[in-house]
Structure 1
């Protein structure tokens, strides 16, 4: 099986209203880096943003491909700082940061495209 360099076997693909705005949020709010953007007229037909060691693909919704929000779990070095950065970039808090019984310090936000991000800082070195 061939998988492009820098990708994983499972790679999230987001279909959203306002892909350009979401790309800005992923870069400014979550510390991602834009790797690729193909534009067709006034829509983002395909884009790729790297978050840590993972690639995220996305595009603008169309009548044939409506927006489909999802939830993503993002490991971060500092959950409190990640939450502040995400909110400053336009996210809405859906769960305040707090220590969880499964060993993560975690909070949740909804991005401008309607997706939920669980921002999690691992507190223990070991399995759940």
Structure 2
């Protein structure tokens, strides 16, 4: 689960730009406090910072620096990067073929989390 300060921006990124399919929403209707999205064979949860007290009792905060890195498999790395670029998403590393046979690029989500897009 990723914490976000702006649920609309996070949903716009993971659902609308990366093609995630909503699998769960709480509460029903708008705005959600928690939303789960399927991306290929994986699922990511988005939780709104400050919407309620976290169960773990630790303060929530947006990511600072390189805390996590998500790997998202896409059908076409280059086309996905161009779609994200057109939407104003920061492209950190342009698509490049790797020695292990995958093509990868890096982007940042609206909360600054790193995403490795690969095929």
Residue 37 of structure 1 corresponds to: 25
| Structure 2 residue 40 is the aligned partner of structure 1 residue 52 | yes
Question: What is the RMSD of the two structures over their aligned residues, measured on CA atoms?
Answer: 2.2
Normalization by structure 1: what TM-score?
0.73
Normalization by structure 2: what TM-score?
0.78
Question: Take 2:7 and 2:16, find their aligned partners in 1: how far apart are those partners?
Answer: 14
Unaligned residue ranges in structure 1 (runs of 5+):
1-12, 122-128
Residue 65 of structure 1 corresponds to: 60
CA drift at 1:109: 0.4
Matched positions, count: 108
| Structure 2 residue 8 is the aligned partner of structure 1 residue 16 | no
Residue 26 of structure 1 corresponds to: 14
Structure 1 segments of 4+ aligned residues over 4 angstroms from their partners: none
Residue 6 of structure 1 corresponds to: none
CA drift at 1:43: 6.5
Structure having the larger proportion of residues in strand: 1
